[in-house]
Amino acid sequence: MWILIWSELVVFGIFFAGFAIAHILQPDVFISGQNSLNRFLGGLNTMVLITSGLCAALAVHAQQAAKTTRMRLWLAGAIGLGIVFLGVKYLEYAEKLTQGIGLDTNTFYTLYFLMTGFHALHVVFGIFILIIIGWKNSNENLEIGASFWHMVDLIWIILYPLVYLLR
């Protein structure tokens, strides 16, 4: 799992570097694209993922205290917030698509949809990992799964300001 986590960090690092370079090469396109994004929904998703990371950490703590029911409740909270994140991301995508904006609109939107979509797939994968851990729990499985979930959080904490806020 650690190899997967590190390789995903490298992949997203390449995405971030490519985004930064493309922003330098096409500043007007990127500023216009960033201005069209819903910063509130992006910020809401940031809070949702940070809170879900807290839930995952509290699940690990509950497991270490041998409180399996509490651990599963915290995992359910992390999973539920992951689903909320995906719902908010769906609303953002639907808004752009109804405006006729898609992957092929320009470089900004190509990178926006690829980076946020790839991240959303990691949220889906993370939710499945957390479900499996809640079912087949052990200290080691929970800590590794929570580490993956925290990697997903970390990526969003970098992705949100880079794509939505930095000019």
pLDDT in tens, 96-150: 999 999 999 999 999 999 999 999 999 999 999 999 988 887 777 888 899 999 9
pLDDT of residue 109: 97
| Contact indicator for 130, 78 with CB cutoff of 8 Å | yes
Mean pLDDT of 47-65: 94
Residue 19 has pLDDT above 90, yes or no: yes
pLDDT of residue 5: 86
How many other CB atoms are found less than 10 A from the CB of residue 146? Answer: 25
| Contact indicator for 14, 103 with CB cutoff of 8 Å | no
pLDDT of residue 141: 82
The conformation of residue 136, written as its DSSP 8-state character, comes to S
Q: Give the model's confidence band at 162: pLDDT under 50 very low, under 70 low, under 90 confident, else very high.
A: very high
Residue 1 has pLDDT above 80, yes or no: no
The conformation of residue 73, written as its DSSP 8-state character, comes to H
How many other CB atoms are found less than 10 A from the CB of residue 118? Answer: 15
Mean pLDDT of 36-47: 96
Give me the phi and psi of 65, to 5 degrees please.
-90, 10
| pTM for the whole structure | 0.91
pLDDT of residue 103: 92
Q: What CATH number should be reported for the domain whose range is 2-165?
A: 1.20.120.80
Compute the mean pLDDT over every residue in the chain, rounded to the nearest whole number: 93
| Contact indicator for 106, 29 with CB cutoff of 8 Å | yes
What gap in Å lies between CA 52 and CA 75, rounded to an integer?
A: 9
Mean pLDDT of 138-166: 90
pLDDT of residue 3: 87
pLDDT of residue 126: 95
Dihedral angle sign, alpha carbons of residues 121, 140, 77, 6: negative
pLDDT in tens, 57-85: 999 999 888 888 899 999 999 999 999 99
pLDDT of residue 27: 94
